[in-house]
Amino acid sequence: MKTSVILHGLRNEFSLDQMKACIVLAEKYGGSFRHVVTGLQIIGIEKADKEALIAELPDGVIPVVHRGLNSLIACVGKGHCKNGQMETWELADYIEKNFYGKKLAHKCKIGVSGCGRNCPDAMVKDIAFIGTSQGFLLAVGGRTGHNPVAGTILARNLTIEEAKKAARILINWYSEHGEPRERIHNVLVRLGNPLEGVTL
């Protein structure tokens, strides 16, 4: 039976050496590549070979979990794009290093956008940070799917450090309170804003 594996690299980037190693693995196990929203997918491999392929992935390349923090997309942000209002990589790297792959009640996608043009489609992510001239706007509970909704704005004008703290609180809160298969949107509706009254 055929299956696939989705691969993730820091900042969704793959070095040449990582990419070459992945190509060798795809070839070895009879697969080919597709780009999907959570990463780089090797498709068409035998189910029996999946664990062996994962065990041979190069350093820095990991398989994407299904239920958990499985998507973190940041644009290049201020300093790399003329439109950028906020730098994005420091915040995205903090989330990646501390929380990427964390098992949660359901999938959790995060978008970090350097400005309101919103190239990473952050407003339809579970957690969104969007750069403005005053700091990051934070929106939570966005999603696509059958009933798409934009995230609810929970905070504005956050510094990078405040945004890191907000991300930490939100992810840990979702980890603690999310019921099986419950997206953060529903937890927010059920329990209210966890940042209410919190000094970031």
> For residue 99, what is the enclosing H or E element?
helix 89-99
Q: Taking CB under 6 A as the rule, does residue 115 contact ligand SF4?
A: yes
| Residues 200, 198: Cα–Cα separation, whole Å | 6
Nearest distance, CB of residue 102 and ligand SF4, angstroms? 25
The interaxial angle of helices 184-191 and 160-177, nearest 10 deg, is 80
Q: Taking CB under 6 A as the rule, does residue 5 contact ligand SF4?
A: no
| Residues 38, 77: Cα–Cα separation, whole Å | 20
- With CB atoms as reference, the residue minimizing the distance to ligand SF4 is 114
Choice between 63 and 111, CB closer to ligand SF4: 111
Residue with tokens 């790399």: 80
| Residues 110, 88: Cα–Cα separation, whole Å | 12
Figure out which of the listed residues 11, 102, 117, 177 binds ligand SF4, where binding follows CB under 6 A: 117
Stretch that binds ligand SF4, among 7-15, 116-124, 144-152, 174-182 (CB under 6 A): 116-124
Choice between 78 and 168, CB closer to ligand SF4: 78
Figure out which of the listed residues 31, 68, 114, 135 binds ligand SF4, where binding follows CB under 6 A: 114
